[in-house]
Copies of this chain bind each other. A is one copy, B any other.
Amino acid sequence: MITALAGGVGAARLLRGMVEIMAPGDITAVVNVGDDTDLHGLHICPDLDTVLYTLADAINPETGWGLAGETWRVMESLQKLGGVTWFNLGDQDLATHCYRTQRLAEGATLGTVTAELAERFGVGVRLLPVTDDPLRTRLLLAGGDEVAFQEYFVKLHHQVAVREVRFAGAGNARPGPGVLEAIAAADTVVVCPSNPVVSIDPVVAVSGVAGALTARREQVVAVSPIVAGAALKGPADRLLVEMGFESSVVGVARWYAPWVSTLVIDEADAALAPSVEAEGVRCVVAPTIMSDVKRSAALAQVVLDAGS
């Protein structure tokens, strides 16, 4: 049994590889919801959807988010109306948000709706939002403004300096049903190669999760999202530096060290393995670039081996 802490694209690809080498039903993904946003009245869960669509082999392969064969009729019309279009939502993707929002309005929890969507998309991996409660990643910018995650990530293209990251609601957010149990029961807990600062940290910020991870530290294996000093995607490199950490696998190791015992780093960073171990984290060197499903599966195998 594997439990994975997951953000968006990197997590989705590792999970997609994992279902090549083990039964989907033996995998639980605990997914970040700090990126969630409400727009046009719709409740949008970018990380959950990226994981969902990727596992369903329905992801848009060019963007890494959204659905393949997507059309943009609604957004085209909304643009003509002068509506909010900086957060691009395809027509098929909108159906997911309509479904989710309606079910939430009917009183279903996010966890229940996510399970329903996973079933409809034919995804056998158990997808758990880390919490059913509101939890929103917010960024205090160097300029003094505080913005929601998607505003930072999409609207501002994360091209702004960040002073502080906050998880609004984390103090009251309870772990979703099954989350703590999945961490406690897993043979290996996998920290997917997601942004430590804004994808994994909001998961860990939910009450009880950090303790559950610390209790399983020996079984927790992380994959570095930083390769050769840079994030493969997104602002993880810059955010680590802004939080006072190195933008390197050593910075990642230090960030995760309290509750991670093993870090998988890319071959490009092999020379840094001793520095990773100096942080008190076992180091495994392997190819980590998941450019196709075969490579994702190979990395998943490395992670499983590292955990056993």
> Which chain B residues lie closer than 8 Å to A84 at the CB level?
102
Most buried by B among A39, A84, A97, A99: A99
Flag the segment in A11-19, A75-83, A159-167 that touches B.
A75-83
A43 beta carbon closer than 8 Å to chain B: yes
Stoichiometry (number of copies): 2
A116 vs B41: C-alpha distance when bound (angstroms): 18
Assess whether B73 is in contact with A96, with CB atoms less than 8 Å apart.
Answer: no
Residues of B near A95 (CB, < 8 A) are 73-78, 80-81, 83
Q: Which residue of B lies closest to A120 (CB)?
A: B81
A271 at the interface (CB under 8 A from B): no
**A75: B residues at CB distance < 8 A:** 95
Which residues does chain B contribute within 8 Å of A116, judged by CB atoms? 82
Encoded as 1 (CB less than 8 Å from any B CB) or 0, chain A from 33 to 64 comes to 00000111111000000000000000000000
Residues of B with C-beta under 8 A to A38: 105
- What residue of chain B has the Cβ atom nearest to residue A93's Cβ? B77
Q: What are 15 pairs between A and B in contact, CB < 8 Å? A: A39-B102, A40-B102, A41-B104, A73-B92, A74-B94, A75-B95, A76-B95, A77-B91, A77-B92, A77-B95, A78-B98, A78-B99, A81-B120, A83-B98, A83-B102
A interface with B by C-beta (< 8 Å): 38-43, 71, 73-78, 80-84, 91-92, 94-99, 101-102, 104-105, 116-117, 120
Q: Which 5 A-B pairs have the closest CB atoms?
A: A77-B95, A41-B101, A73-B91, A40-B98, A41-B41
